[in-house]
Amino acid sequence: MPPPEAKRAVNRSAASLEVDAVTVSFGGLSVLDEVSFSASSGEVLGVIGPNGAGKTTVFNVVCGFVRPSSGRIVWRGRELRHQRPYQLAHLGIARTLQGVGLIAGLSAVENVMVGAEPIARTGVLSGLLGLPRSAGEERRLRARSLEALERLGVAEFAEQHPRALPYPVQKKIAIARALVAGPELVLMDEPASGLSSGEIAELGRLLTSLRGEMGVLIVEHNMDLVMATCDRIVVLDFGKVIAAGTPAEVQANPAVTEAYLGASVESESAGA
């Protein structure tokens, strides 16, 4: 039998998430058409494509918000079927949504504690609702959550309520909530939206620091972020994968240029 380290090394290099011939139709209209790609633990994978290409739908299928009409999502060799979004965290998959989705009635650190649920020995929510939980457990989860806020550089806002905080700070709190339980895969839908170029560069450094620690799948519009941080990129257009490869390969692929040029010409003429 191989030693445990060798086994872990093998698992790390294997594809941990497989999107296998996923088709999604809404009202007879096919939004994803046999989309297949895989993501390995420890890599940063980008999913890009013009508006309406199906990026968020891919994200939603993996999260369990949308059921595919056909095809499979396989996570660490096991098909994910009928999973509810809240069950994902216990499988080691965390996510941040296109908006921020923080709970208004909880402070920043309490929001992050909600993300710590998978590592709690008793329910975090029951704790926040004032139901019995040991003080030691509460302290442990709070400390972990503060560390996550610190990693994102927003620990100073721990006791404040998210609504009062600037949008970029809220986004960082949401990322801290996704990371706090130490997931094996984190999914982010448009993490760069609403951020300044300086904040996007900072986000890029964070994503790079996550490489090797967990798999990262970002659905993103911002090309600079994607090109600078992703190990591999999957390009969607009209619900189909039109290209996949390293940033350099994707940038040099004429089908990609064409898809984006077509999209910009269309939106220009729509705006005219």
Ligand X SMILES: Nc1ncnc2c1ncn2[C@@H]1O[C@H](COP(=O)(O)OP(=O)(O)OP(=O)(O)O)[C@@H](O)[C@H]1O
Cα(162)–Cα(120) distance, rounded to whole angstroms? 23
- Cα 114 to the center of its chain, rounded Å: 17
Binding ligand X (rule: CB under 6 A), the pick from 53, 93, 97, 181 is: 53
Q: Is 31 in the site for ligand X (CB under 6 A)?
A: yes
Task: Indicate which of Mg ion, ligand X, none lies near residue 52 (CB less than 5 to 8 Å, by partner kind).
Answer: ligand X
Q: Is 229 in the site for ligand X (CB under 6 A)?
A: no
Task: Indicate which of Mg ion, ligand X, none lies near residue 26 (CB less than 5 to 8 Å, by partner kind).
Answer: ligand X
Task: Indicate which of ligand X, Mg ion, none lies near residue 96 (CB less than 5 to 8 Å, by partner kind).
Answer: none
Binding ligand X (rule: CB under 6 A), the pick from 17, 18, 43, 54 is: 54
Cβ-based nearer residue to ligand X, 31 or 44: 31
Close Cβ partners of 55 (under 8 Å, ≥ 6 residues apart): 47, 48, 49, 189, 219, 236
Q: Is 222 in the site for Mg ion (CB under 5 A)?
A: no
Q: Is 226 within 8 Å of 247 (Cβ atoms)?
A: yes
Cβ-based nearer residue to ligand X, 209 or 257: 257
- Rounded least distance, CB 56 to Mg ion, Å: 3
What DSSP designation does 91 have? G
Neighbour count for residue 46 (Cβ, 10 Å): 25
Q: Is 57 in the site for Mg ion (CB under 5 A)?
A: no
CA nearest neighbour of 86 among 119, 63, 116, 52 = 63
Cβ-based nearer residue to Mg ion, 56 or 111: 56
Cβ-based nearer residue to ligand X, 56 or 96: 56
Cβ-based nearer residue to ligand X, 52 or 182: 52
Binding ligand X (rule: CB under 6 A), the pick from 22, 37, 44, 57 is: 57
Cα(272)–Cα(228) distance, rounded to whole angstroms? 33
Q: Categorise residue 194: left if φ over 0, alpha if ψ from -120 to 50, beta otherwise.
A: left
The window from 47-55, 115-123, 191-199, 260-268 that contacts ligand X (CB under 6 A) reads 47-55
Q: Is 26 in the site for ligand X (CB under 6 A)?
A: yes
Residue 165 vs residues 108, 170, 175, 201: alpha-carbon distances, Å: 9, 6, 15, 21
Cβ-based nearer residue to Mg ion, 179 or 188: 188
CA nearest neighbour of 241 among 259, 220, 267 = 259
- Rounded least distance, CB 196 to Mg ion, Å: 21
Q: Which residues pair with 20 in a beta bridge?
A: 72
Cβ-based nearer residue to ligand X, 53 or 108: 53
Binding Mg ion (rule: CB under 5 A), the pick from 16, 41, 56, 170 is: 56
**Residue at token pair 């964070």:** 206
Neighbour count for residue 150 (Cβ, 10 Å): 13
- Rounded least distance, CB 174 to ligand X, Å: 18
- Rounded least distance, CB 239 to ligand X, Å: 7
